[in-house]
């Protein structure tokens, strides 16, 4: 697609618009340092317009610089993004055509939340150009993110069954402002992404850097970023480390890894108990060797041991009797951890607060695929924070509980015939296990006393004492 599909601004008067370049860039540097903005004054709007024009025409910027200016969470960046998107005319274009055009203009790079903000700006512009195609802007954004996820699923390096068109359609059931997207539209979008993957522009220097990093990785380089925690191969499921996130609970916990990703049993040599100083910060449970100090930077080991609690469920480990005060934590990617707390009260506190964080901040997942297909695959669960209000989040849990409970009942009403192959029986049990877990998790999330717990307890609870002897295992 490319620029031939986009509106090109005339360069007439461009020099006049950019004559105050040095002044504008001084303001941008100030913005980087403080992230404090003016109140949307006329001068701010003019500065945003000039910066947007320079970003679009790559005057003094590289393609890799664009997203960082559009994805910041402040008023000025929002103004810049709004002005930048005005250079794109999406009227009467399909969503995939518009997305391809948009992504070819710059490199979509940066933290997950920054990339999502950029896509929100794109969705706003597309809806503005095509107000009758979708029920609401949220539907555009949902479908845009779904296309990005589909692109990774179909063309990414992940191993396993690729998402089918029917699964793609089922996953988007009811997400167009409470209604279904037109089936033919979804089929067309699926085939478009399947036949031609989404790609975005890459600067020459950035490409060399990426290839260099890939070569280093292939040679087992130990170098890694300490600002990201990778949860999977999908860029929209990466866990962003937010140094400014609220700390909900801290204290000593002993950890045992019970199951790896997808529920695969952890090898015996890696199951041993190990004590950490646990810090639940935002949606991430950090497991550190030393006590929590807000001013201390996280080490690579801290990030390596970190666990995201988005879409997770913590319960008392009723089936584990070797040690007291043990809770079980199951994560979105179906890893299972056992944690021993210092007392029954501490165990209950960790369970309550972990589930509260997961309930309040987990972004809604796509519903599980429904249909007669024999191969079952779990839906993708985004690690980004929900954009819903607390009341909307609660209603979402209520709706999902009803939906999943009904699906579980229907699933159990049609058990596999005794004569079917063992593989089909395994698929049936896998889906039943998933739905059963979802019912339990959402039932916890749906409890009103759970989802409001953090309203009155957003405090740091520090334990200054060393762990008791019963927790000092190696």
288 lies in the same domain as 152: no
Cβ distance 289 to 280 under 8 Å? no
156 lies in the same domain as 240: no
98 lies in the same domain as 173: yes
Q: 19 in a domain, yes or no?
A: yes
**Each residue's pLDDT tens digit, 64-78:** 889 889 988 888 999
The CB density around residue 174, as the number of other CB atoms within 10 Å, is: 12
Q: 399 in a domain, yes or no?
A: yes
Residue 364, pLDDT score: 74
177 lies in the same domain as 244: no
Dist. CA 40–CA 75, nearest whole Å: 7
74 lies in the same domain as 187: yes
302 lies in the same domain as 372: yes
Spatial CA neighbour of 123 closest among 92, 153, 149, 98: 98
CATH number at residue 150: 1.10.1000.11
Q: Is 464 exposed, middle or buried (0-12, 13-18, 19+ CB in 10 A)?
A: exposed
Task: Choose the weakest-confidence range: 121-125, 247-251, 382-386.
Answer: 382-386
Q: Is 417 exposed, middle or buried (0-12, 13-18, 19+ CB in 10 A)?
A: exposed
Distances (CA, A) of 398 to 221, 235, 380, 395, 445: 47, 29, 20, 5, 9
The CB density around residue 83, as the number of other CB atoms within 10 Å, is: 20
Beta bridge partners of 281: 247, 284
Residue 84, pLDDT score: 96
Spatial CA neighbour of 474 closest among 280, 313, 333, 289: 289
Q: Does the pLDDT at position 252 exceed 50? A: yes
382 lies in the same domain as 246: yes
Q: How confident is the model at residue 41 (pLDDT cuts 50, 70, 90)?
A: low
Enclosing domain of residue 158: 2-195
**Domain end marker among 169, 195, 221:** 195
6 lies in the same domain as 102: yes
13 lies in the same domain as 98: yes
238 lies in the same domain as 181: no
- Per-residue pLDDT, averaged over 286-309, amounts to 81
Q: 468 in a domain, yes or no?
A: yes
Q: Does the pLDDT at position 211 exceed 80? A: no
């Amino acid at each position: 697609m490319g620029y031939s599909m986009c509106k090109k601004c005339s360069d007439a008067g461009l020099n006049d618009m950019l004559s105050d370049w040095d002044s504008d860039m001084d303001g941008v540097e100030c913005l980087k340092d403080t992230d404090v903005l003016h109140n949307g004054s006329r001068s701010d709007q003019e500065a945003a317009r000039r910066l947007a024009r320079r970003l679009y025409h790559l005057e003094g910027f590289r393609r890799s610089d664009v997203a960082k200016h559009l994805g910041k969470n402040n008023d000025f960046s929002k103004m810049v993004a709004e002005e930048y998107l005005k250079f794109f005319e999406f009227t009467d274009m399909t969503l995939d055509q518009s997305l391809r055009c948009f992504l070819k203009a710059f490199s979509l790079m940066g933290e997950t939340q920054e990339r999502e903000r950029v896509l929100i700006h794109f969705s706003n512009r597309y809806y503005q150009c095509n107000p009758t195609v979708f029920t609401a802007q949220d539907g555009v954004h949902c479908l845009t993110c779904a296309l990005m996820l589909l692109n990774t699923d179909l063309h990414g390096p992940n191993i396993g069954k690729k998402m089918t068109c029917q699964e793609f359609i089922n996953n988007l059931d009811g997400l167009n402002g409470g209604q279904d997207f037109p089936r033919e539209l979804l089929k067309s979008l699926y085939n478009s992404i399947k036949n031609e993957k989404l790609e975005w522009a890459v600067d020459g220097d950035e490409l060399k850097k990426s290839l260099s990093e890939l070569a280093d990785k292939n040679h087992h380089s130990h170098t890694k970023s300490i600002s990201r925690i990778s949860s999977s191969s999908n860029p929209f499921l990466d866990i962003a480390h937010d140094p400014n996130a609220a700390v909900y609970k801290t204290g000593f916990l002993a950890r045992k890894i019970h199951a790896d990703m997808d529920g695969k049993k952890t090898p015996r040599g890696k199951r041993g108990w190990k004590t950490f100083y646990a810090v639940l910060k935002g949606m991430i449970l950090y497991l550190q060797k030393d006590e929590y100090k807000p001013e201390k930077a996280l080490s690579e080991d801290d990030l390596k041991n970190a666990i995201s609690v988005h879409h997770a469920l913590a319960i008392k480990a009723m089936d584990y009797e070797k040690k007291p005060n043990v809770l079980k934590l199951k994560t979105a990617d179906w890893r299972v951890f056992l944690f021993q707390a210092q007392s029954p009260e501490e165990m209950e506190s960790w369970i309550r607060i972990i589930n509260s964080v997961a309930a309040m901040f987990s972004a809604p997942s796509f519903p599980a695929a429904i249909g007669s297909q024999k191969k079952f695959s779990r839906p993708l669960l985004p690690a980004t924070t929900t954009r819903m209000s607390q009341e909307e989040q609660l209603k979402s849990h209520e709706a999902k509980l009803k939906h999943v409970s009904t699906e579980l009942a229907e699933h159990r009403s049609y058990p596999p015939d005794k004569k079917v192959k063992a593989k089909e029986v395994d698929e049936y049990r896998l889906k039943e296990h998933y739905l059963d877990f979802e019912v339990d998790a959402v039932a916890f999330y749906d409890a009103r006393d759970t989802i409001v717990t953090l309203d009155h307890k957003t405090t740091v609870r520090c334990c200054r004492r060393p762990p008791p002897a019963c927790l000092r295992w190696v």
